[in-house]
Amino acid sequence: METVTMSVEGMTCGGCVASVTRVLKAIPGVADVDVTLEPGAAKVSFDSQRTGIPALRSAITEAGYDVVD
């Protein structure tokens, strides 16, 4: 199991946090998600055999938010 924390920009409310949480949890292989509004971050634990950081980034950007390096 791997854990990564990504900075997420564009979240402005609890609904945004819920949206990002929902799209990340929908990815096969994701075990745990903790999204915080301040600071904008998503901490994700996932099975690296089933998914990876590119899929996590893609899910966040497709939901309308930006992942910052």
What is the total residue count of the chain? 69
Mean pLDDT of the chain: 96
Give the mean model confidence (pLDDT) for residues 19-26.
98
Tell me how many domains the chain contains: 1
Contact call for residues 20 and 35 (beta carbons, < 8 A) = yes
Domain holding 48, by residue range, is 13-68
Judge whether residue 69 has pLDDT over 90: no
Taking only the tens place, the pLDDT of each residue in 37-66 is: 999 999 999 999 999 999 999 999 999 999
- Candidates 9, 6, 7, 22; CA nearest to 65 is 9
- Residue percentage of the chain with pLDDT more than 70: 100
Backbone conformation region of residue 64, classed left if phi is above 0, alpha if psi is from -120 to 50, else beta: left
The answer to the question of residue 8 being in a domain is no
* CATH number of the domain to which 46 belongs: 3.30.70.100
The answer to the question of residue 6 being in a domain is no
